[in-house]
Chains A and B, each alone.
Chain A
Amino acid sequence: MQIEQQNKTSLEVSGLTKSFGRIRVLNGLNLGIDSGEVLSVLGSNGSGKTTLINIISMLTKTDQGTVHVHGNSIDKCPNQIRSYLGVVAHSPMLYSGMSGLENLTFFGRMFRIDSLTERISETADKLGVSGILDQKVGNMSHGMQKRIAIARALLHSPKLLLMDEPESGLDQSAVALLREIIKDLKNSKCAVLLVTHSIDQAVKLGDRVAILSKGKVGYEQVTKSVDISEIREKYFKYSDQFTRVQT
């Protein structure tokens, strides 16, 4: 099955519903991201941000609804879509007994990246981890593990990057680096779904901001046309509501 790479819409999520037991975390959620666009997703704890990322990245099955990446359903050609996805999650998803280089090499091979050595070196330089690549991941600080995890997510030049609170555990210089990386990704037409708790980050980095509430997008706004105080006000308004629905 051929993926329509030219498709302007990078991600299209429609009617997404997911329950864990009697708790409905997502309740008919719809959202879309165009190529080269950054969508910042805000929401209180338990509002379904991580579940949304897990469903798009096919780690969790949805109860209802569809997810299309570059026009193709994740149910129909999952492996091709996985090759387009880069994911930065809460946990680094790295082998702690292996060095940073061994981790990147292993995951690079799984993505069948050409000129892997050069690509690893280029990505590690960009993230400032070249000097620690031979260290065991288990011996690295949380921030350094996160940098390696970001390097792993960028290694195969994804078309859609899903980031779940990428700034957590990073120092200020790494956060600044992350901003630069996201800008570069935008320029290379990579779509980014950025889940964050930082309203400042969401507004600075995102082209649009969406706030999840009651398992749906409760509020959505283009960041250019809005003041940060308005987003803050809306965030607290929607976060104050009980965000989960009992089924």
Chain B
Amino acid sequence: MNLIINWVKLNPCLAIFWKDVMYEIRSRDTLVSVLVFSLLVIVVFNFGISPNPKNVALFAPGILWIAFIFGGVLGFTRTFAIEKENNALNGLLLTPVSRDAIYFGKVLSTFTFMLVVEIITFPIFAVIYNLPIFPPEFIPIALLSTLGISAVGTLFAAMAMKTKAREVMLPLLFLPVIVPVLVASIEASTPALVGGPWSDVSMWLPIIAAFDVVFLIVCSIGFGYVIQD
């Protein structure tokens, strides 16, 4: 176990992830705010559309992913806020670590934070909308979609951090780009949540995975340019 922990700490990408996790465990700023925000979105939509057995399959997947994505936007801003404080990011950029490693370290952090939020939010969402609490078909959708969202969100959070109106810039840049993943996630989640056939779910997974690969490659290249003045 110690060997694994040491390896995690020595790998630059994982060291950044470890630092973000430690930071979050201590402050709980990001997780709590993202969690509360995501739950609020779910509850507000519940009052707005009054779901019933007839319309729940139509609305619920969309509401769930909108809650995750809006929460994610909040989380990305917060993850980079700790780097902005005291110019700590410059300290990180002065280390002999490739910009890719910094990018992937931050993606891993945001991916993990989002997954934790999803794990807590989903059962509450399922109870409110009267859906199955643990549909196993939803797991691959959540993992792949969250990876894509984190890949894009990390790049645009770094970009927005350099601007004055970062709270406005991030959603403006991020939301249009993430639409393909959002659409595929909602389409795949509908049969997963209402007990549809696995083939209806699995047909969307390669599409989400393909977006993930493209986003990870393009965003890791873009990150190096974005992060430098």
User: Which of A's residues lie within 8 Å of B, judged by CB?
Assistant: 54, 57-61, 79-80, 82-83, 85, 87, 89, 91-98, 102, 106-107, 109-112, 137, 145, 152
Q: Which residues of B contact A85 (CB under 8 A)?
A: 94
Q: In the complex, identify which listed stretch (B22-30, B122-130, B172-180, B204-212) lies at the interface while the others stay far away.
A: B22-30
Given A79-B97, A83-B96, A91–B87 Cβ distance below 8 Å? yes
Given A57-B94, A82-B94, A93–B15 Cβ distance below 8 Å? no
Q: Which residues of A contact B88 (CB under 8 A)?
A: 93-96
Asked if B85 contacts A60 (CB within 8 A), the reply is no
Contact with A along B63-94 (1 / 0, CB 8 A): 00000000000000000001001111011111
For B229, give the chain A residue with the smallest CB separation: A60
Q: What are 25 A-B residue pairs whose CB atoms fall within 8 Å in the complex?
A: A58-B93, A58-B228, A59-B90, A59-B94, A60-B229, A79-B97, A82-B96, A83-B96, A89-B90, A93-B87, A93-B91, A94-B86, A95-B19, A95-B23, A95-B85, A95-B86, A97-B26, A97-B27, A98-B19, A102-B22, A106-B15, A109-B12, A110-B15, A112-B96, A137-B86
Q: Which residues of A contact B22 (CB under 8 A)?
A: 98, 102
Most-contacted residue by chain A among B27, B90, B94 (CB, 10 A): B94
Q: How far is the CA of A194 from the CA of B22 in the complex (A)?
A: 35
Q: Which residues of B contact A102 (CB under 8 A)?
A: 22
Ranked 7 nearest A-B pairs via Cβ:
A93-B91, A110-B95, A83-B96, A91-B87, A82-B96, A79-B96, A60-B229
Asked if A109 contacts B23 (CB within 8 A), the reply is no
Q: Is B9 an interface residue (CB 8 A)?
A: yes
Supplied contacts A93-B87, A97-B23, 9 more A-B pairs, CB within 8 Å: A83-B96, A89-B87, A93-B86, A93-B94, A95-B19, A95-B85, A98-B19, A106-B15, A106-B19
- Say what secondary structure dominates the interface of chain B: helix
For A109, give the chain B residue with the smallest CB separation: B15
Asked if B23 contacts A107 (CB within 8 A), the reply is no
Asked if A107 contacts B91 (CB within 8 A), the reply is yes
Q: Which residues of B contact A96 (CB under 8 A)?
A: 85-86, 88
User: Which of B's residues lie within 8 Å of A, judged by CB?
Assistant: 9-10, 12, 15, 19, 22-23, 26-27, 82, 85-88, 90-98, 228-229
Q: How far is the CA of A58 from the CA of B22 in the complex (A)?
A: 28
Q: How far is the CA of A79 from the CA of B101 in the complex (A)?
A: 12
B226 to chain A, nearest CB (A): 12
Given A60-B229, A110-B12, A91–B96 Cβ distance below 8 Å? no
Asked if B229 contacts A54 (CB within 8 A), the reply is yes
Asked if A107 contacts B26 (CB within 8 A), the reply is no
Q: Which residues of A contact B10 (CB under 8 A)?
A: 109, 112
Q: How far is the CA of A83 from the CA of B96 in the complex (A)?
A: 5
For B89, give the chain A residue with the smallest CB separation: A93
Given A93-B87, A95-B86, A96-B86, A79–B23 Cβ distance below 8 Å? no
For A85, give the chain B residue with the smallest CB separation: B94
Q: How far is the CA of A80 from the CA of B97 in the complex (A)?
A: 9
Q: How far is the CA of A57 from the CA of B90 in the complex (A)?
A: 10
Most-contacted residue by chain A among B9, B82, B90, B96 (CB, 10 A): B96
For B29, give the chain A residue with the smallest CB separation: A97
For A81, give the chain B residue with the smallest CB separation: B96
A65 to chain B, nearest CB (A): 16
